Structure 1
Amino acid sequence: MARSDPKPNIGDDDSGIYKALQYLARLAVWVYFRNVKVITRTPPISQQGPLLVAANHMNMVLDPAVLIATFPHARRCHFWALARFFRIPVVGQVLSSAGVLPVDTQTRSNAELFEHTLDCLEHGGVIAVFPEGTSYTLPHHLPFKDGLSWAAYEYLLDQCNKSNNPEEESHILPKTNGEAMWLLSKYGAPIRITAQDLKKFQAEPKPAVKQLTTRIANGVEQGTINSPDWDTLHAASEARFIMFGDTRRVKLEDYVQVSQSFIEIFHPSKAKDDPLRSELKLRLLTFHKTLRQLRLTVWDINMYENHEITLRRAILRLASTWTTLAIQIPLFLPSIIINWPLYLLGHVAEHYEEHTESVAQDKLVYAVILAIPLYGTLIYQFWKYIGFTMIGLIGAILLIPVLAWYHMALVDKRYDMAKEVAASWRICAALLSSVTGLDAQPRRELEDAVQLRQWCLQHTKQLLLDLAKEGDPHAHYLVDYGKLASTNEYIVNEKL
């Protein structure tokens, strides 16, 4: 006898299971990301009322975790998930209790899915969907499926049929001032469906659905970075880094547009007909590969170039960075010793996982599994050291979140410091080799990287200025954003 799927919990907004998932999701997001900032487009997301959310899906578990942890007003998100997950003991009960709705991809009979979806929207709920249907490892999103569009139109049509006043049918949803909203790319600008859109759906359903799916995909693209291939993405990233610095120098709310503008500048369709642009793209890719081979960053190359580092300065920098890190090692070493099995297991998971989009999921799952016995042993040993007293047990239990917070507060900055020490050593070794004459190759590689960066910087500036004069909107945006068209900057580029 086939196991029946549990009925999703839709009406209970105070679901204990979902509350627990919120805490777990916030913990996972806090552990995995350095900083999280939520940016919403106008109008702001309402605290109540039906919402359909479309989000890209580059990570299997972290994507829903981010939505659960950061959705405005802590509203409960009802996800669509594959029906086979609901047939797994315990997992199916958890998903159903959390309000997740099953999608049957085998028989393609999703009458119950749309029934539950419309019921959820009728109760003013939030339906969160990943229209691509699966996670992926690509520089661009996958084609969007039409399920979300069908659900939208069916819900609006159902609302019209329930209306007792025929005049209200043209307004579609009186509760939302005559329009229905999608939140695109998690918290992007909303798409609105009008009465005219609904009439088109009633007349020709499939074309209307396809058109709405295209609008949803375009809306998601406005809030995400999409590149036709990896080479274009890497070239655009290096150009952005060379021109504007790392993500700390580009405002988070501008990051997507700045990155996407560079991608459009170096798009294959434009580069293939422009020899100069094609050469610049090729050299940016060469610079990208050079940095990876040397295990340096643009900042290391820039620092070497601007300060004209001598061997004495390189040695002083190495000594300074190493001393700064060494002073803090005693404060940080205990937490490293305690947590090193978690990092080792994460490294193993990353090495053996074939799908990049599943790496974060594996790390989180394995870390949770290992953390239970690891921190359980720590609690026991501390309790034993105190003497198995009740106060000792309470102190041991309270010690765990304090230790976790202490570790997470320090790990990122100290990791950056360790990378700076390594970069300082590489630069110092390159200069030392040229002075001693034992091996001049490291110095030549560093000098070649500096010259390549200078060439890319100068020609990227010039390309943006020239394209902006020709009316290219992406180049004009980048020139205006970086203030490249200032008098002094323009004089420098005219001399090139």
Structure 2
Amino acid sequence: MAIDIGALMQTCPRKVHFWTKSELFHGLPGLTAFMTAMGCLPVKRNSRSGKNESNDDLFESTITTLLRGGVIAIFPEGTSHHTPKLFDLKDGASWAALQYAKAVGNPANYAPIVPVGITYEPLKWRWRNRLHVRFGKAIEVTDFLKEFELDQRAAVKRLTARLQETLSALTVNAPTWEALDFTARVQALTVGHDRGWQDLAVGSAASSLTAANDSALDSLNPRVTAYFSRLAKLGLKDIDVESGSIRNLSSLATDLLMQFVFTILAMLYELPFTLFHLPALLLLSFFNAREKFPESKAQIQIFGCFLALPINYTIWWLLLTIYILGAPIAPGSLTPPPTVFHSSLLASWYITIAAFIFGLPFPRAEDLRRHASESLKGTWRVLRATIVEGRETLREVVVERGRLRSELISIVDKKRH
């Protein structure tokens, strides 16, 4: 959930206020003031607490925020989860929109509901993964107000159903993880690995066909499975044969050598950044290994950085101050003499700040290293398969991939149009 909040704050052009579970407003001193300053509005979740507390204050503060021109972000599923599809949505967003429209009275001031779909590729908790944020067409509440005057619950349920349908179209959903895996394979075969879930229409069409047990797609399922099984036996991945070219051994060996050199250079470039952030990386790895729930892994990586990075830089600052920049230390003492402590303190701060600036390119260095490493491993897999199985076997795999791709594109295009 924390990553979703950050994604909305980054992509929305206006300040966003969030409905946030009330439990997060209590605990540490100053936490309530901090959450309020961040624009969070407390939600009392009676289904979790077992209490029957009123959320009238929540709806009142929501209406006040909207009257001031604010934006309210609501996660209508009401909870964090790790499933391949959307949960059934709660009615809170629909209640808030219709109650606000009824309160203001003027149609010109009604607040529409803008559905937002957030998709992570390949996994939410993976370091430096892809994130797709899609804003759908605004849902106007005018069509639901007349019914809301007569039967509030029916109008709210109908608006929630519309929102569920719209959000489903903005995200990739599948009935099971196996179906989602098959959808990902169809996506890779049809639009390629680089585009991934950028072409949401293909993924949505494939997932809906899978959920509907489409006969044409079902007939291709065994062939797709057999194709990927054959790749596994050859020690290959689909991305290795995506280009469709069958290269000779000399070309592959030359590329392998060049990519090996580039990978070594990329690792050398990344090494200083990795060593400098090693305390933080070890601390995050420790916390991450102790968490089993995937959604929590992603949040630990975010909030762990707020804890680990200050500790990381403090460690380096202490080392610089005590051991490197201090004057000769008296026997049996680890503290520099007072006469040089002040200058050592300032100098170590300057060097620590410089090291922090030096560490800013670390994510980009990691991207370069990862890309170089993946290219090297891909070329090595193709070279090994060519030597062991021969070019003719690879040609058969490439031809089968082309056939599958053509048939899948035809099936998906029929669904899209």
TM-score, normalised to structure 1, is 0.68
Equivalent residue in structure 1 for 2:45, among 105, 110, 113: 105
Task: State the Cα deviation string for residues 211-251 of structure 1 (Å, max 9, x = none).
Answer: 0111112222232222222223222222222222123488x
Query: Residue 406 of structure 1 corresponds to which residue in structure 2?
Result: 361
Query: Residue 257 of structure 1 corresponds to which residue in structure 2?
Result: 201
Q: Which moved more, 1:420-429 or 1:235-244?
A: 420-429
Equivalent residue in structure 1 for 2:138, among 172, 176, 190: 190
Equivalent residue in structure 2 for 1:77, among 9, 16, 32: 16
| Identical pairs, percent | 24
Partners of 2:15 and 2:232 in 1: how far apart? 42
Aligned AA for 2:99? Answer: E
Query: Residue 212 of structure 2 corresponds to which residue in structure 1?
Result: 269
**1:420 Cα shift?**
2.0
Query: Residue 173 of structure 1 corresponds to which residue in structure 2?
Result: 107
Confirm or deny that 1:334 pairs with 2:272.
Answer: yes
1:394-473 → structure 2 map (5 Å cutoff) = 395-432=350-387, 434=388, 443=389, 451=396, 454-465=399-410, 472-473=414-415
Partners of 1:409 and 1:67 in 2: how far apart? 23
Is 2:188–2:196's contact at 8 Å kept on the other side of the alignment? Answer: no
Q: Secondary structure at the residue paired with 2:245?
A: helix
Task: State the Cα deviation string for residues 377-433 of structure 1 (Å, max 9, x = none).
Answer: 22344456456457634532431342222212211121111122223333334445x
Counterparts in 2 of 1:285 and 1:133: CA distance versus 1, 3 Å: farther
**1:283 Cα shift?**
3.4
Counterparts in 2 of 1:291 and 1:231: CA distance versus 1, 3 Å: farther
**1:129 Cα shift?**
0.4
Is 1:350–1:359's contact at 8 Å kept on the other side of the alignment? Answer: yes
TM-score, normalised to structure 2, is 0.80
Q: Which moved more, 1:111-120 or 1:314-323?
A: 314-323
Aligned AA for 1:420? Answer: S
Aligned AA for 1:418? Answer: S
Is 1:283–1:452's contact at 8 Å kept on the other side of the alignment? Answer: no
1:16-27 → structure 2 map (5 Å cutoff) = none
**1:454 Cα shift?**
3.6
Counterparts in 2 of 1:190 and 1:400: CA distance versus 1, 3 Å: farther
Aligned AA for 1:307? Answer: I
Is 2:236–2:385's contact at 8 Å kept on the other side of the alignment? Answer: no
Q: Which moved more, 1:60-69 or 1:367-376?
A: 367-376
Q: Report how many residues are paired.
A: 377
Query: Residue 149 of structure 1 corresponds to which residue in structure 2?
Result: 94
Equivalent residue in structure 2 for 1:300, among 240, 260, 263: 240
Aligned AA for 1:372? Answer: P
**1:282 Cα shift?**
3.2
Is 1:80–1:101's contact at 8 Å kept on the other side of the alignment? Answer: yes
Is 1:201–1:209's contact at 8 Å kept on the other side of the alignment? Answer: yes
Partners of 1:345 and 1:381 in 2: how far apart? 18
Q: Secondary structure at the residue paired with 1:79?
A: strand
Query: Residue 184 of structure 2 corresponds to which residue in structure 1?
Result: 237
Query: Residue 133 of structure 1 corresponds to which residue in structure 2?
Result: 78
**1:296 Cα shift?**
4.7
Is 1:301–1:450's contact at 8 Å kept on the other side of the alignment? Answer: no
Query: Residue 367 of structure 1 corresponds to which residue in structure 2?
Result: 305
Partners of 2:172 and 2:92 in 1: how far apart? 23
Counterparts in 2 of 1:268 and 1:80: CA distance versus 1, 3 Å: closer
Partners of 2:352 and 2:12 in 1: how far apart? 30
Is 2:284–2:308's contact at 8 Å kept on the other side of the alignment? Answer: no
Counterparts in 2 of 1:249 and 1:133: CA distance versus 1, 3 Å: closer
Counterparts in 2 of 1:382 and 1:455: CA distance versus 1, 3 Å: same
Q: Which runs of 5+ in 1 are unaligned?
A: 1-59, 161-171, 435-442, 477-496
Partners of 1:389 and 1:294 in 2: how far apart? 60
CA RMSD across the alignment:
3.0
Partners of 1:88 and 1:425 in 2: how far apart? 53
